[in-house]
Amino acid sequence: MMKNDVKIKAVGLKIGYGDFVLLKDADFVINKHDIFIIMGGSGCGKSSMLRVLTGLVKPLEGKIFVDDVDFLAADTITRNQIMQTSGILYQSGALFSSMTLAENIALPLQLYRNYSPEEIREIAALKLALVGLKGFEDYYPSEISGGMKKRAGLARALALDPDVVYFDEPSAGLDPVSSKLLDDLILDINHNLGTTIVIVTHELSSIFAVGNNSIFLDGETKSILARGNPKELLKNPPHEKVFQFLTRGGEKNA
């Protein structure tokens, strides 16, 4: 692995709130074009890790490098520039209910780009088409299904053509068919746009379908118990907890 293949590098992260520590001494690397899975049981710090990586919460200790830039120590302008190169799909989609889908996607473009209203409308339509929602520009979130809301949220996350897109439990609340469609969409975006994907999830079907790299967080030891391709971790689990998670409690000889 060459140094310029690294997109995000975490060094010595300690994550928690006040005296309550969720994770300590966390080191890992997310390579460019990875579909990187953050997995583990409930309460292990997955969502908190995502908040730290996206700059929403500061870690208690440690460093995060994005394209070799010290993200946490950077000045405000640099941090904002880095944050604008990433998009986030929240668990609920987090669409503004009073705005149409096109208006939701237009918002970051209006805030951070100097495009004309016509150009913004065209880009919004393009992003919706990219996620399979062509023709839904003037629909409101209340008028579409849960799976469509997730895809519309993804279209908004892609509005600024980010290098990295973060997903918080993308399959939560979706039926198996909608979840599979979203997995396929993640693979398409990663393959066709070269976007680095970071996903917090506990859904095994999605983990094995899309992930090529991962970390496994353990709430008991407050550490990373495993790193690597989820399929390889299943074949050669470094710890019993990892095997139990990846098989939902199955037996090795089953």
Model confidence at 174: pLDDT above 90: no
CA distance 77 to 13: 23
Q: Of 113, 112, 93, 91, nearest to 101 (Cα)?
A: 93
Model confidence at 250: pLDDT above 90: no
CA distance 123 to 88: 18
Q: Out of 1.10.240.10, 3.40.50.300, 3.60.9.10, 3.40.50.150, select the CATH number for domain 32-60+84-247.
A: 3.40.50.300
Show contacts of 226-232: CB within 8 Å, 24+ apart.
227/28, 230/37, 230/39
Q: Tokens 């060094």 correspond to what residue? A: 11
**Per-residue model confidence (pLDDT) at position 172:** 83
**Per-residue model confidence (pLDDT) at position 42:** 85
The tens digit of pLDDT for each residue in 9-36 reads 999 999 999 889 999 999 999 999 999 9
- The residue ranges of DSSP E strands in the chain, in sequence order, are 6-17, 20-31, 35-40, 61-66, 69-70, 86-89, 164-168, 196-200, 213-218, 223-227
Domain spans, the chain: 32-60+84-247
**Per-residue model confidence (pLDDT) at position 254:** 34
DSSP assignment letter at 99: S
